[in-house]
Chains A and B, each alone.
Chain A
Amino acid sequence: MMAKNDIVYDPDSHLQTDKMWVIMGPQHPFSHGLWTLKAQLDGEIVTDAEPIIGYLHRGWEKECENRIYPKIIPMADRLCYAASMTYTHLYCMTVEKALGIDIPEKAKYIRMIGDEICRIQSHLMWLAAVGTDLGNLTVFLWSMREREFFMDLNVRLCGARMTTNFPRIGGVRNDINDDFVMYTKRCINRFEKAIWDVISLIDDSSTFVSRMKGTGVLTRERCANLGITGPAMRGTGVDFDVRRDDPYDNYDKVEFEVPVLKDGDSYSRYKIRIEEMFQSCKIIMQALEKIQAIGKNAPYRLKVPSKVPAGRAFMRMEDPRGESMMCLISDGSDKPYRLKVRSPIFVNVSAAKPLVQGCRIADVPVVMAMIDMCLGETDR
């Protein structure tokens, strides 16, 4: 009775009432970060919506043009606070492509581990946000607790918890040690058990499932037209993952599955993210084994020239939130001429209107939580 949700906004079937605009944000509990959603309400039903972004614009791309290449790495961390290593990784890959060098195998695997740790971290942060958006603080605290263990892994890996500043052009900052390998295995074994607490709290609870099922439905075509990427896209049935279909680093050498669901509603997006966390665990375990096979003294960081030859380079990668791309134009000096970032959320947030149209106002936080907003990368 609760699972079926057939609210479709049809102006003729409703009473003709006054519509009002409700401004949600930038200081609103539902907006994770600084952004505004203007929603036009007809009673409780949203008839129109408009996202407003730009509160966090810092001139990131312009500022990069005045910095030498290594100095951009700490800045790339700050693009996305929830998964800082992915953007740094992407930046380093772009510069390496411009330099035309191939980095050591070990560095590739270490970066991969870092990436997947960040993916789990980011998804757990999203899970926490879903909990509060649905009015349950237990999910929030339990998933934040799980996230804390991955933060500790970050500390062991590179000495910092959030803004890791770990990948370098030509490799990674430091080698991993035996402690890290041991603690990562232990942490992942623990996580695979502990996350079931949260799963049974959400997936086995009809309050959670009925809130998510059937809300924010997007079709495959709509999704393609809007340019949505990431778990939100895979939730609508598009079977595409950059890690598998256009592998960078060593993703073609590890085995993992890309979960795809056809429903296109909030619940399928939720399930895909949960499954992705398990797949990330799988990737980390495989990468650890491969690193141990490579040997301790293998190189992990190349010495790279400080100047990048003139030309342009483009790389894309699978961020926790979608497909992020970077395009570097170099003029042969030690500073980039232009560095363009394509962030997934900047595109995904444009789907706010089709997603929330026809929903109830109570569904807006849930539907938007499934986009997993991160304003650091959106506004740059």
Chain B
Amino acid sequence: MGYSSILDWIIFKDVMDNAFYPFASYNLPFDISYKLWEIIGGLIAWLVNLLLPGNGLSTWLISDEVSNVFALVIFMIVIFAIAFVVTLISLWMERKVLGRLMDRRGTMIGLKGFLQCVADGLKTFMKENVIPRKVDKTTYMWTAALIIGTSVLIACMIPLSPRWFVVNYGTGLLIIMALFALAPFFILVSGWAQNNKYSLIGGMRAAELMISYEVPMLIMIATTCLLAGSFNINDIINAQFDTVWFIVPQIIGFITFIFCATAEAERVPFDIAEAEAELVEGWQTEYAGMKWGLIMLADYMRGYVSCAMVVIMYLGGWLIPFASADMNGWIPEIVFLLKVWLIFFIMILLRGALARVRTDQIVNIGWKVFMPLSVLNLAVVLVLKLGGVF
């Protein structure tokens, strides 16, 4: 074979023409990663073909099957990078907003303080990996990995638009909730494994926290799904497009859910598991350096997921208010993220305004306030549904 042009190897095929396309509908991040792999794989294939003309490797690299596999690897990186950047932006936003409402300036390093995240990451990365001698090392490391892992997993699983998703499950909201509720178990085990009294109390409190808000939260998720008639996130938002945003019939649920979501993300009024006033840092006491940095990041990812759930369930996801179907096709990802940050702003205000509640109080609130409210919300929705309004 003679010389072949690079353009013979980089063929921009439509991703949907791939016989092994893994998704049911069009997926934008997969399209991007597929195109990226077509460039990278085509380049490699072309180079290999230049050196060893007529080999099988080059054609193998750009075949449908292999392209798909490598595109999926890039797809994972793209999805994680976006979730990571969104988390960093909410972290930056928290620092700036919290600073401003406390009459100070917040972080000041680079890009209006955004680069402080990078500085923090580098700093924790440079730290020595300290593992206390008396901890149960295996459990100590594994629980941290699982807490971070599950948090990153759900942060990646949040769909930003009908074309930006990882999986389009029929039970999407339930899967997210299930993974979300896993972390307190790991926190409990990790608190035990650390062999530290503060951590132990912190771990116990995480379990206490979980039993108090998880049930009302699940009831409210069920209510929304009842209203939409589906657990699928796409369907829920389409239902909100067809009728009204669910904040209108479920205003009680919306307010209750914001508080429950704050508790789920272990943010200030409900961060009893890491109450720094009495428990130093709660269950994170013995984690140092990069482990702590990653746990912190996972915390903010959980915050992002909590806000995203509020947006999906009550604020119409990626829908622009009072807009027609054509307009909603326009950058829905940005609309979704803006709504997420709006809810996160409310969470920051909660953090700025409220004090930490006590353990017995949170159980009280959970069972005596949130629980009746969520049941009331369910009743309202049932009446509306039976009355034929929805």
A touches B (Cβ under 8 A)? yes
Residues of A within 8 A of B (CB): 1-2, 7, 20, 22, 24, 28-30, 41, 44, 131-138, 141-142, 145, 201, 205, 207-208, 210-211, 360-365
B103 near A28 (CB under 8 angstroms)? no
Smallest Cβ-Cβ distance to A24: which chain B residue? B278
Checking B101, B198, B275, B361 against A135 with a beta-carbon cut-off of 8 angstroms, the contacting residue is: B275
B353 near A205 (CB under 8 angstroms)? yes
B359 near A141 (CB under 8 angstroms)? no
Residues of B within 8 A of A (CB): 98, 101-104, 197-198, 201, 204, 268-269, 271-272, 275-280, 352-361, 364-365, 368-369
Checking A22, A137, A362 against B272 with a beta-carbon cut-off of 8 angstroms, the contacting residue is: A362
A29 near B360 (CB under 8 angstroms)? no
B279 contact set on A, CB distance < 8 A: 361
Smallest Cβ-Cβ distance to B268: which chain A residue? A135
A2 near B361 (CB under 8 angstroms)? yes
B277 near A1 (CB under 8 angstroms)? no
Q: In the bound complex, how far is the Cα of B356 from the Cα of A29, in angstroms?
A: 15
B103 near A134 (CB under 8 angstroms)? no
A7 contact set on B, CB distance < 8 A: 360
B101 contact set on A, CB distance < 8 A: 138
Q: Given A22-B197, A135-B268: A30 and B278 within 8 A (CB)?
A: yes
A137 contact set on B, CB distance < 8 A: 98, 102, 352
Smallest Cβ-Cβ distance to B369: which chain A residue? A1
Q: Given A145-B103, A362-B359: A135 and B369 within 8 A (CB)?
A: no
Q: Given A29-B277, A29-B280, A207-B269: A135 and B355 within 8 A (CB)?
A: yes
A142 near B102 (CB under 8 angstroms)? yes
| 15 intermolecular pairs with C-beta atoms under 8 Å apart | A1-B364, A7-B360, A20-B197, A22-B197, A24-B278, A29-B280, A41-B201, A44-B204, A135-B355, A142-B102, A205-B353, A207-B354, A210-B357, A362-B359, A363-B358
B104 near A29 (CB under 8 angstroms)? no
A29 near B352 (CB under 8 angstroms)? no
Q: Given A1-B368, A141-B103: A364 and B359 within 8 A (CB)?
A: no
B98 contact set on A, CB distance < 8 A: 137
Smallest Cβ-Cβ distance to B350: which chain A residue? A207
B278 near A134 (CB under 8 angstroms)? no
B268 contact set on A, CB distance < 8 A: 135-136
Smallest beta-carbon distance A369→chain B, Å: 9
Excluding A207-B356, A210-B361, 14 further A-B contacts by CB distance (< 8 Å) are: A24-B278, A28-B280, A29-B280, A30-B278, A131-B355, A135-B277, A135-B355, A137-B98, A141-B103, A142-B103, A210-B358, A361-B201, A362-B277, A365-B278
A136 near B275 (CB under 8 angstroms)? no
B271 contact set on A, CB distance < 8 A: 135
B104 contact set on A, CB distance < 8 A: 141
B277 near A2 (CB under 8 angstroms)? no
Checking A28, A30, A207, A360 against B355 with a beta-carbon cut-off of 8 angstroms, the contacting residue is: A207
Q: In the bound complex, how far is the Cα of B271 from the Cα of A142, in angstroms?
A: 22
Smallest Cβ-Cβ distance to A139: which chain B residue? B355
Q: In the bound complex, how far is the Cα of B153 from the Cα of A59, in angstroms?
A: 59
Smallest beta-carbon distance A361→chain B, Å: 5
B357 near A211 (CB under 8 angstroms)? yes
Q: Given A135-B277, A142-B103: A360 and B269 within 8 A (CB)?
A: no
B358 near A211 (CB under 8 angstroms)? yes
Smallest beta-carbon distance B17→chain A, Å: 56
A133 near B277 (CB under 8 angstroms)? yes
Smallest beta-carbon distance A136→chain B, Å: 5
Q: In the bound complex, how far is the Cα of B204 from the Cα of A29, in angstroms?
A: 20
Q: In the bound complex, how far is the Cα of B272 from the Cα of A44, in angstroms?
A: 12
A2 near B365 (CB under 8 angstroms)? yes
Identify which of B204, B278, B280 gathers the most chain A CB atoms within 10 Å of its CB. Answer: B278
B359 contact set on A, CB distance < 8 A: 44, 360, 362
B278 near A362 (CB under 8 angstroms)? yes
A364 contact set on B, CB distance < 8 A: 278
A208 near B355 (CB under 8 angstroms)? yes
Checking B201, B204, B277, B369 against A30 with a beta-carbon cut-off of 8 angstroms, the contacting residue is: B277
A210 contact set on B, CB distance < 8 A: 357-358, 361
B198 contact set on A, CB distance < 8 A: 22
B277 near A365 (CB under 8 angstroms)? yes
B358 contact set on A, CB distance < 8 A: 210-211, 360, 362-363
Q: In the bound complex, how far is the Cα of B219 from the Cα of A68, in angstroms?
A: 75
Q: In the bound complex, how far is the Cα of B361 from the Cα of A208, in angstroms?
A: 12
The 7 closest A-B pairs by CB, nearest first: A135-B356, A134-B355, A141-B102, A365-B277, A207-B355, A362-B358, A207-B354
A201 contact set on B, CB distance < 8 A: 353
Q: In the bound complex, how far is the Cα of B358 from the Cα of A7, in angstroms?
A: 12
B354 near A205 (CB under 8 angstroms)? yes
A132 contact set on B, CB distance < 8 A: 277
Q: Given A2-B361, A2-B365, A145-B103: A135 and B276 within 8 A (CB)?
A: yes
Smallest beta-carbon distance B102→chain A, Å: 4
